[in-house]
Structure 1
Amino acid sequence: MKRFLIAATAALAATPALAHHPLGGLPMTSFSQGLLSGVGHPVLGFDHLFFVALMGIAAAYSGQALKGPLAYIAAMLAGCALMAAGVALPLAEVAIVASLVTLGALVASGRALSPTVATALFAGFGLFHGSAFGGALTGQEGALGGSVLAGYLIGLAAIQYAIAIGAGLLMRRVLSAPGAASINARLAGAMVAGVGIFLSLEILEGPIVAALVG
């Protein structure tokens, strides 16, 4: 867990914004590039990475280790498709930060989520994470090819499902946290909530400075 916290701190120091581009901002023109970008976004975007990992942990303790992440994946893909079609969800970045704080606080409480609450929570926040991922598609020059979109969505779904399942297994078997009340699980929740609070301060910083200067 100590190494996990150190890695999280380093990640925050290296993450200046909530937008991440595995291809360096270059447009996606092939299935493989779409796949690479889809795999890279959730890994390079530490806000998404932390939420997905903690979601996998929470899902494992709610008895939804496999089904819970699927609810997130389905909603995430829907949000991404909506954004690609020009339908942006309002305040997506704020919702993403809220997802970290909310889920982090719930896991830190040491109480397992019920299957119904877990599914609703994962799916609800998944829509907004997907909308943010879809932003990578809106900046494409020219028409977005079907193969690019397919690769991107497959990459997004596969990597995030793997991260969620892996995080749940890691917490329960490697870090010896068999229940939601285990100290390592609660520390992971507190850490992710702290990340969310840190990012919320970044979001508020701009308007506050503008108000003071103006």
Structure 2
Amino acid sequence: MHRILALAVAFSSITLTNAFAHHPLGGEVPQTLLHGFLSGVGHPVIGFDHFAFVVAIGLIAAFHKQRAIMPAGFVLGTMAGTMMTISAIALPFAELVITASVIVAGVIAMRGKLTSIVPMTAGATVIGLFHGWAYGAAVVGAEATPIIAYLAGFGLVQMAIALLAGYVAVNMWKATSAASLQPRLAGALMAGVGVAYMVELVEGLVFPAM
């Protein structure tokens, strides 16, 4: 398992690029309902740290009877976090918390043990505040209509990603329990992405661009 995690970290380090900083619509504030929705759909996919966390949440929740509860808690948290950004409410160390959340979620998925859904949902909701707070920067200054569409876009796509991850683990990989191999490999990859991004973040703090 240590070798798997090491390979995942190495693979992630190679594949991660400046896509973290890219945003749909070229970073412009959405002006219409359609632009708001497209921007919302794009952010959880383009932001690979966010994407990795949503996949990990889907894998963690996959073997619960109510597999949608944990992802739904996270999505509600992201919506609240976005509204915090719009309301100019700051969250400390947001990038570090987001990165750490990817690592922790990946490790939990990799452990291959069924988790207690209530504390995990509560934790996912709190972490969602930080992910959503980062999402909110894209719609600061936008009108109400594109903001609502933006929330709908990233809410729907995150639920779809999480549920699809669970579906793939259970139905396509034929995993019968949280201890099955494939979800653990996927969790290792999520943890690897988080580690790689953490290294990139720390490097940026230690060696800031002049």
Q: TM (normalized to structure 2)?
A: 0.89
| 1:59 corresponds to | 61
Q: How many pairs align?
A: 201
Partner AA of 2:165 in structure 1: A
Identity, % of aligned positions: 39
1:130-141 maps to which residues of 2 (within 5 A)?
Answer: 130-138=132-140, 140=141
Runs of 4+ in 1 over 6 A off after TM superposition: none
Which one-letter code corresponds to 1:116 in the other structure? V
State whether residues 61 and 113 of structure 1, in contact with CA within 8 Å, keep that contact through their aligned partners in structure 2: no
Which residue in 2 is equivalent to 1:102?
Answer: 104
Q: TM-score, normalised by structure 1?
A: 0.87
Aligned to 2:153: 155
For 1:112, what is the secondary structure of its paired residue? coil
Of structures 1 and 2, the one scoring higher in RCO (CA 8 A, sep 6+) is 2
Asked whether 1:198 is paired with 2:196, we answer yes
Of 52-61 and 9-18, the range deviating more from structure 2: 9-18
Q: Which runs of 5+ in 1 are unaligned?
A: none
Describe how 1:16-35 pairs up with structure 2 within 5 A: 16=18, 18-35=20-37
Matched, 1:183 2:181: yes
Asked if the contact 1:15/1:46 (under 8 Å) is kept, the reply is: no
Cα distance in 2 for partners of 1:20, 1:154 equals: 20
Does the CA-based 8 Å contact 2:113-2:178 persist in structure 1? yes
How far, CA to CA, are the matches of 2:50 and 2:178 in structure 1? 22
Per-residue CA distance 1:144-185 (angstroms, 9 max, x = gap)? 211111110000111111111111001111012121101101
**Which residue identity is paired with 2:36?**
G
The letter for the 2-side match of 1:183 is: L
Deviation of 1:65 (Å) = 0.7
Name whichever of 17-26 and 76-85 sits farther off.
17-26
The CA RMSD over aligned residues, in Å, is 2.0
